Amino acid sequence: MKSALVIGTGLIGTSAALALASRGVLVHLADQDPDQARTAAVLGAGTEEPPEEPVDLVIVAAPPAHVAAALADAMRRGLGRGYLDVASVKGGPRRELEALGLDLTAYIGTHPMSGRERSGPLAATSDLFEGRPWVLTPARDTDTEVLNLALELVSHCRGVPVVMDADAHDRAVALVSHMPHLVSSLVAARLEHAEDTAVRLCGQGIRDVTRIAASDPRMWIDILSANPGPVADLLSEVADDLDETVRALRALQSPDEAKRRKGTDGIHEVLRRGNAGQVRVPGKHGSAPRVYETVALLIDDQPGQLARIFADADMAGVNIEDVRIEHATGQQAGLVQLMVEQKAAPGLSAALRERGWTIRQ
């Protein structure tokens, strides 16, 4: 691929553009809001100049409700050899395009399974898609050349291509993305009017559970509106589980020992099922989760501390597999947890201690 046109230069469009530009692809940037395209260009994602001839691939990264219209417009203007979108839902946009009577052989629906709770080009990074699944939904009549262009995009972004049927994709993302998003929002919503004294106690658990609740509601209304059935079915199952969990908790308050035992069994079953589901969540690069050793350091909130830790780990010849930061409430201090291969942990602890870091046992 030599050239591409990204339409919609927000988080996803600019991240893909940055990755393509860094691999030498000439990227043109367009957005209905010219400020967004200008920002993406300033970040090095490409040029705001419109292409003079058809590009190899047109990438539509606008919100789901605008995808079909933006693709139809680009196709009618003959802006590219191939066309794809990255919307979080796949059945709806294809059906909308079919209803417009367009020839869809040069189009493929795709969805990178990677994102952030922030929007816009300033949140974009060229490595956003690295090691993450990127779903491709070719139809029977999709041109092989277009499928190859999509594969080339995924490869440039260092994603992992996964081929799926569009409707199967929508059911799958209802389970792993859309329903969890609403559950995250519902948990976070309990905090809206909570006492400050309670909120101050928030630890890493609630941070993990509520991270995606910070996302832009407008985008999520679009996503959920395009996949309401499968999400409602799953949430109704969650509601049944919630009812049972409440019953079990009420039983724990009973003076009757037999009822209390039933309550304990009920709660145990919820927690057991949670463990069984959690171990199925894939780890880094989509592989089975691995068990890493954690090396924990106390830091004070000074600029450059993380960079120094990474440089010191690098000098010790240790690859950091994952990192977590816990901020101490109300203090300029925090705890950095470095996840490393089990056999590398003792050496890393010793090396960091030697370089003056406070290692927490």
Ligand X SMILES: O=C(O)C(=O)Cc1ccc(O)cc1
Find the radius of gyration of the CA atoms of the chain: 24
Footprint (CB under 6 A) of ligand NAI, residues 250-279: none
Cβ closer to ligand X: 115 or 121?
115
Taking the complex as a whole, the smallest distance from the CB of residue 180 to ligand X amounts, in Å, to 8
Q: Indicate which of ligand NAI, ligand X, none lies near residue 349 (CB less than 5 to 8 Å, by partner kind).
A: none
CB of 5 to ligand NAI, least distance (A): 11
Treating both helix axes as pointing N-terminal to C-terminal, what angle do 179-189 and 217-225 enclose, rounded to 10 degrees?
A: 140
Query: What is the nearest approach in angstroms of ligand NAI to the Cβ of residue 70?
Result: 5
Q: Interaction with ligand X in 175-204: which residues (CB under 6 A)?
A: 177
Of 212 and 348, the one with the shorter C-beta distance to ligand X is 212
Residue numbers 123-182 binding ligand X by CB under 6 A:
177
10 binds, among ligand X, ligand NAI, none (CB under 5 to 8 A by kind): ligand NAI
**Amino acid at position 165, single letter:** D
Cα–Cα distance for residue pair 353/309, rounded to 1 Å: 11
Q: Does 159 bind ligand NAI (CB under 6 A)?
A: no
CA distance 42 to 48: 10
63 binds ligand NAI (CB under 6 A): yes
In this structure, the dihedral spanned by the alpha carbons of residues 260, 265, 271 and 276, taken in order and rounded to 10 degrees, is: 180
Site for ligand X contains 113 (CB under 6 A): yes
Over the range 245-279, which residues count as b (16 or more CB within 10 Å of their CB) and which as e? eeebeebeeeeeeeeeebbeebbeeeeeeeeeeee
Q: Applying CB under 6 A, which part among 1-9, 196-204, 295-303, 326-334 lies near ligand NAI?
A: 1-9
Binding of ligand NAI by 87 (CB under 6 A)? yes
Here the tokens at position 219 are: 């985008």
What is the nearest approach in angstroms of ligand NAI to the Cβ of residue 32? 4
Strand-strand pairing, 333-340 and 322-327: antiparallel
259 binds, among ligand NAI, ligand X, none (CB under 5 to 8 A by kind): none
Q: Which of 11, 29, 71, 149 binds ligand NAI (CB under 6 A)?
A: 11
> At closest approach, how far in Å is the CB of 212 from ligand X?
5
Q: Is residue 91 within the footprint of ligand NAI (CB under 6 A)?
A: no
The upper half-sphere exposure of residue 187, i.e. CA atoms within 13 Å in the direction of its Cβ, equals 17
Q: Report helix, strand or coil for 265.
A: helix
Contacts of 145 (CB under 8 A, 6+ apart): 81, 82
Name the one residue in this structure whose structure tokens are 């553009």: 17
Residue ranges binding ligand X (CB under 6 A): 88, 113-116, 177, 212
